[in-house]
Amino acid sequence: MRLIVGLGNPGIEHQGTRHNAGFEVLDRLARRYGDPPGGPARSRFAGLLVEACIGAGRVMLLKPTTFMNLSGASVLEAVRFHKLTAASDLLVVTDDFALPCGAIRLRAQGGDGGHNGLADITRRLGDDRWARLRVGIDAPGRVPTESYVLGHFTPEQRAQLEPGLDLAADAAACWATDGLETAMNRFNRRGVGAAGTN
């Protein structure tokens, strides 16, 4: 059993905002791999849970409904209930304003980069040794960070984001079936190239 968590904020007012990129990736995974595909989510672990079949493995797709700053409560509950090892069984999908819009980056561990959701997960799990998949949303520029991440994508950003969300879902599925190292080798290069960065 593996766990893929997408970070975001619940509520219709937050749909389509930059901070909800993780939710959007989870929605794609649920439509592709949910059992049944596109089936309804259940309320579990202070979140919305879809059980999925990716390759030959069972994977839980979890969207915490605790709001971003308390995401770790949902993650910790799921990890403890299923007796998972975070370093090998957990992937967290999140937005990242340090990456160009639509670029993706997989990492085995690391800091939170000022992201409150990642910080709360690290605090509650007790360390940062768990995989994260970051989806670029562009830098905020002169806009205050909180206002920027809670705002909606511009039409130009949305056009860049959509293929990145599909690529992120592909990368998450690869992590579930082939492991982190394979997914990093396959998708980090593609994600960077897709965004036109070096």
Catalytic residues: 19
Q: Which two tokens stand for residue 86?
A: 């975070």
Question: Is there a contact between 75 and 19 (Cβ–Cβ < 8 Å)?
Answer: no
How far is residue 99's CA from residue 135's CA, in Å, rounded to a whole number?
7
- State the Cα torsion 52-53-55-57 to the nearest 10°: 100
How far is residue 116's CA from residue 114's CA, in Å, rounded to a whole number?
6
Q: How many CB atoms lie under 10 A from the CB of residue 67? A: 15
Question: Is there a contact between 70 and 89 (Cβ–Cβ < 8 Å)?
Answer: no
Q: How many CB atoms lie under 10 A from the CB of residue 88? A: 13
Burial 35-53 (b: 16+ CB within 10 A, else e): eeeeeebeebbbbbbbbbe
